[in-house]
Structure 1
Amino acid sequence: MKRKGERTISDTVLIQKVLDGHDHAFRLLVEKYRNDVFRTVFAILRDQKEAEDAAQEVFIKIYMSLSQYENQGFKTWMTRIAVNHAIDMKRKQARRREEVFEEFETLGTTEDSLEREILQKEQKQLVRKRLNELPENYRDVIFGFYIAEKSYQQMAEEQNVQVKTIETKLYRARNWIKKNWKEDDFS
Structure 2
Amino acid sequence: MSDQQLLQLYLQEKDNSWLGPLLQRYTLLLFGVCMKYLKDETEAQDAVQQIFLKVIQEVHKYKIDYFKSWLYTVAKNHCLSVLRDKKSKIPVELNENDLKEETEEVAAEKEEVSPELLKEALNALNREQRQSVTLFYLEKKSYQEISQSQGYSLMQVKSFIQNGKRNLKLLIRKMLKESKKTNG
After TM superposition, the score normalised by the length of structure 2 is 0.54
- Contact kept? 2:4, 2:65, Cα under 8 Å: no
Residue 82 of structure 1 is matched in structure 2 by: 75
Structure number with greater Rg is 1
- Please state if 1:49 is matched with 2:42: yes
**RMSD of equivalent CA atoms:** 2.9
4+ long deviations beyond 6 Å: none
Residue 61 of structure 1 is matched in structure 2 by: 54
* Aligned pair partner of 2:98 in 103, 109, 112: 109
Unaligned regions of 5+ residues in structure 2, if any?
Answer: 104-112, 122-178
User: How has the CA–CA distance of structure 1 residues 183 and 22 changed in structure 2, closer, same or farther, with 3 Å as cutoff?
Assistant: closer
Q: For 1:105, give the aligned amino acid.
A: L
- Please state if 1:16 is matched with 2:8: yes
Determine the C-alpha separation between the residues in 1 that align with 2:28 and 2:54. Answer: 16
Instruction: State percent identity of aligned pairs.
Output: 24
Determine the C-alpha separation between the residues in 2 that align with 1:107 and 1:122. Answer: 14
* Aligned pair partner of 1:119 in 117, 126, 136: 117
Count of residues in Structure 1 that have an aligned counterpart in Structure 2: 117
User: How has the CA–CA distance of structure 1 residues 39 and 120 changed in structure 2, closer, same or farther, with 3 Å as cutoff?
Assistant: closer
After TM superposition, the score normalised by the length of structure 1 is 0.53
- Post-superposition Cα deviations, 1:22-67, rounded to whole Å, max 9, x if no partner, equal 1111111121111111111110000001111111111111111211
- Contact kept? 2:35, 2:44, Cα under 8 Å: yes
Determine the C-alpha separation between the residues in 2 that align with 1:14 and 1:73. Answer: 12
Q: Relative contact order (C-alpha < 8 Å, sep 6+): which is higher?
A: 2
Partner-residue secondary structure (3-state), 1:105 = coil
Q: For 1:13, give the aligned amino acid.
A: Q
- Post-superposition Cα deviations, 1:136-181, rounded to whole Å, max 9, x if no partner, equal xxxxxxxxxxxxxxxxxxxxxxxxxxxxxxxxxxxxxxxxxxxxxx
Q: For 1:65, give the aligned amino acid.
A: E
- The alpha-carbon deviation at position 105 of structure 1 amounts to 3.4
Determine the C-alpha separation between the residues in 1 that align with 2:27 and 2:120. Answer: 63
Unaligned regions of 5+ residues in structure 1, if any?
Answer: 1-8, 124-181
Q: For 1:34, give the aligned amino acid.
A: T
